[in-house]
Structure 1
Amino acid sequence: MSQRTEPNVPTDVLSELDSYRALEAKQQPKWPDADAVRAAQTELSAQPPLVFAGEVDRLRDRLAAAARGEAFLLQGGDCAETFDGATADKIRDRVKTLLQMAVVLTYGASMPVIKVGRMAGQFAKPRSSDNETRDGVTLPAYRGDLVNGYDFTPESRAADPARLVRGYHVSASTLNLIRAFTQGGFADLRQVHAWNQGFVSNSAYNRYESLAAEIDRALRFMAACGVDDAALTQTEFYVSHEALLLDYERPLARIDSRTGQAYGTSGHMLWVGERTRDIDGAHVEFLSKLRNPIGVKLGPTATTDDALRLLDALDPEREPGRITFITRMGAEKIRDTLPALLAGVRDAGARPLWVTDPMHGNGITTSTGYKTRRFEDVMNELRGFFEAHREAGTFPGGIHVELTGDDVTECLGGSENIDELGLATRYESVCDPRLNHSQSLELAYQVAEELKTAR
């Protein structure tokens, strides 16, 4: 992508891109040093883009196919990435988990699966309070490594603008490794399937052996037919994150010299969260000026009017692939709230991509103080998502899951039957609980069974 630096960009283009500055921006940190923030922004604006316009446009085309019912979106990764967690092994295992899930879902859906990682940018998190109190000591809340540190000390919790630049460089390293993995043979479909065969051979998961055997027969049939295409050894892989921290996102916006349009180059797909999707807020205004595919989280209080107003603000032309609505209703509410929302948007003539986030509406806290989720609640919301779409006659276009490639113990249940005492074994998340590697694959097999029924 050939891109101009800002000094060569017409003033009116920059003025439009900066229109968000006149509006309220929620969930932003209180930086102690304005000069340091400006210095970090200046350095970021001089860096190369992390992603390119052509990649962003290609993802938008892929998501348009999903909105038409011709593809399925798998979006997953950490709740909150950390700088220290951006190691080669952890990045590899997260990518591996998503590739394994994608193979199963591709077979279940009988259509392409779009792979999007919550990676290389998911370093900022919204918080319910600006502060956190422990044992009578009050400090700023942890807002993600892009802002401050997790350790509960005054030094760690101080907002540090230098973290903005470090976040960029960690994201660049992560993307470099992702591209190497997905284009260099690591994504070979036959190898990924072999990993899944190892998974289902475990007695805890052998209920999925029949589906794995079907996939194996399909691969052997392709091999017998002499199919040897690059699609078997390479794959498209995109990255996404919540565009929460505007002091990071704005310096990484670039104007494409081909079209004169603005792209957010911090990630291929950006989303606005439940706490920041105010129709008159700075986040919606800023994202409305970018050409990226935009996700919007919708909780159980979201109405048809909310959804249509967001579409008017973010996608007035109703461009296919532009908007993905990511519903997070909760297992107990999804069957009561989602069908009417789907029908209302459908009847208005809009056709966004509908995706379910079955994680965020199902959080609980145990008696021992661990934030967790029950695997069965996650699956219950997923089933409710498919049921709601069958009722409305719309397409269930994807899943958005918080997961890790590690064998952590953060979510209850699953075939491993993690109980409350087991949470303490390997609870590593600095924010919300994630499905571990085995739970993620188990979810994929169950969703594949749902997709085989739905198609």
Structure 2
Amino acid sequence: MSALNNLDSWRELPAAQQPDWPDPAALERVVAELGSLPPLVFAGECDQLKNELAAVARGEAFVLQGGDCAETFAGATADNVRNKLKTLLQMAIVLTYAGRVPVVKIGRVAGQFAKPRSKSTETREGVTLPAYRGDMVNGFEFTDEARQPDPNRLLKAYHSSAVTLNLARAFAKGGYADLRQVHAWNQDFVAESPAGRRYEQLAREIDQALAFMRACGAEPEEFHTVEFYSSHEALILDYDQALTRIDSRTGLPYDVSAHMVWIGERTRQLDGAHVEFFSRIRNPIGVKLGPTTTPEEAMALIEKLNPDNEAGRLTFITRMGASKIREHLPTLVEKVSASGAQVAWICDPMHGNTFEAAGGYKTRRLDDVLDEVSGFFEVHRALGTHPGGVHIEFTGDDVTECVGGGTEILEDDLALRYETACDPRLNRSQSLDLAFRVAELYRSA
């Protein structure tokens, strides 16, 4: 049986978090059309990212992965893409300088259109409708028509992803990512933000380093462009299988919807469809691990998803919560490290720290996010392993969705600009605050 035919093996297993498509024939037509469309990324680019993640696993690089909780079709605009990329680049330059290691830049972009839900329905004022599962599946508006799963949205997700990737590549390669320009943006942040002023010394050091390079006549190409990769949770398996292609170089299957895809905490069942599908594709992949994950489960995931112990193939993205990471992470890291498994470790400090504010808004405290990152570093430093990166939900806009930060957002402020389609995101100022704090953790290690 060919590798492509083997991709159907997930259909024989329970698939969590899949939509209840009302018209199977319509879904079949859409899947067939997706299968005929050009790839969004190329297998060689996926391999390039895998090589960079191998360096992370060896302790020679750091991952900065972030973007929207849930992308929307309306958000695929030049302004939105530019603002997210700008914030990611600003964070990356700080981490690169402080850590003295390359920073692998991965966006939660161009495919993050579907979200798992804790409940399949939502009730408002006595009316119960299907839960919003992301623009890839149904609409956000609380109407019966909008909330019905529509497979045609899978096609719209593909085309929105293509637009987003085209914009991101243009910005990354067309001069917008110039190192000196990005540093100038950070200088503005330091000068204007109450939070930023705490990092004036680090910003001054970066400025001096750039001035020295300029005086030496050093103008490497890396100063003007960046490598930027896309990623998403591969939740809707019909979509990701339809966008899987056989690489002409190797004869192996790659999910060409993104450079990297990951399995969420709710879909990482060892006997489930998602783990089975991921075991067949050759992209670099990630798995979210929550506080209930046992060392035995982590080792079983490694055996299933990376049996050849290929460096850069598998990344564990921990999402423990600030109050639990110091208790639960050490046993996982110890067991995996002792086995010799080549795994990159990344911290998602967002999902374990969500709570509902008095006004009914889902939110997160920046202090909790920063505390979980601190705990992540503490555990790895104590064990002599590498804290390989951070995975965050953020936007380049000045939203009011998470509380705290230098320009402090209070719970009463959440209603001012609460714009997320799903979970609360850090705004630009809070994201940069996190980057400078991570830089401090690197320097103190």
Please show how residues 280-429 of structure 1 align to structure 2 within 5 Å: 280-429=271-420
| AA at the equivalent of 1:122 | Q
| AA at the equivalent of 1:286 | F
Please show how residues 116-265 of structure 1 align to structure 2 within 5 Å: 116-204=106-194, 205-265=196-256
Deviation per residue, 1:164-203 (Å, 9 max, x gap): 0010000000000000000000000000000000000025
Q: Does 1:82 align with 2:72?
A: yes
CA distance in 2, matches of 1:61, 1:272: 20
Q: CA deviation at 1:262?
A: 0.2
CA distance in 2, matches of 1:368, 1:177: 37
Q: CA deviation at 1:85?
A: 1.0
Q: CA deviation at 1:445?
A: 0.4
CA distance in 1, matches of 2:332, 2:304: 18
Aligned to 1:277: 268
Residue 41 of structure 1, aligned match among 8, 18, 31: 31
Aligned to 1:29: 19
| AA at the equivalent of 2:113 | F
Q: CA deviation at 1:12?
A: 2.5
Q: CA deviation at 1:415?
A: 0.7
CA distance in 2, matches of 1:109, 1:453: 10
Aligned to 1:5: none
CA distance in 1, matches of 2:50, 2:3: 22
CA distance in 1, matches of 2:408, 2:188: 19
CA distance in 2, matches of 1:248, 1:56: 18
8 Å CA contact 2:193, 2:406 repeated in 1: no
- TM-score under structure 1 normalisation? 0.97
| AA at the equivalent of 2:65 | Q
CA distance in 2, matches of 1:447, 1:330: 17
Q: CA deviation at 1:94?
A: 0.2
Residue 101 of structure 1, aligned match among 91, 94, 113: 91
CA distance in 2, matches of 1:224, 1:303: 53
Please show how residues 5-20 of structure 1 align to structure 2 within 5 Å: 12-20=2-10
Q: Give the aligned length.
A: 444
8 Å CA contact 2:364, 2:403 repeated in 1: yes
Deviation per residue, 1:186-234 (Å, 9 max, x gap): 0000000000000000250211100000000000010011011110000
Q: Secondary structure at the residue paired with 2:146? A: helix
Q: Secondary structure at the residue paired with 1:331? A: coil
| AA at the equivalent of 1:420 | E
Aligned to 1:435: 426
Q: Secondary structure at the residue paired with 2:52? A: helix
Q: Secondary structure at the residue paired with 1:104? A: helix
Q: CA deviation at 1:291?
A: 0.7
Runs of 4+ in 1 over 6 A off after TM superposition: none
| AA at the equivalent of 1:25 | A
Q: CA deviation at 1:375?
A: 0.3
CA distance in 1, matches of 2:3, 2:410: 55
| AA at the equivalent of 1:417 | E
Q: Secondary structure at the residue paired with 1:125? A: coil
| AA at the equivalent of 1:385 | F
Q: Secondary structure at the residue paired with 1:250? A: helix
CA distance in 1, matches of 2:430, 2:76: 22
- TM-score under structure 2 normalisation? 0.99
Q: Mind listing any 5+ residue stretches in structure 2 that lack a counterpart?
A: none
CA distance in 1, matches of 2:20, 2:171: 38
CA distance in 1, matches of 2:3, 2:369: 43
Q: Mind listing any 5+ residue stretches in structure 1 that lack a counterpart?
A: 1-10
CA distance in 2, matches of 1:445, 1:367: 30
CA distance in 2, matches of 1:180, 1:290: 28
Q: CA deviation at 1:339?
A: 1.0
CA distance in 1, matches of 2:193, 2:11: 56
In structure 2, the CA distance between the partners of 1:203 and 1:75, relative to structure 1 (3 Å rule), is closer
Q: CA deviation at 1:88?
A: 0.7
Q: Does 1:65 align with 2:50?
A: no
CA distance in 2, matches of 1:388, 1:235: 31
Aligned to 1:4: none
CA distance in 2, matches of 1:258, 1:77: 32
| AA at the equivalent of 1:24 | P
CA distance in 1, matches of 2:98, 2:350: 22
Q: Secondary structure at the residue paired with 1:278? A: coil
| AA at the equivalent of 1:228 | E
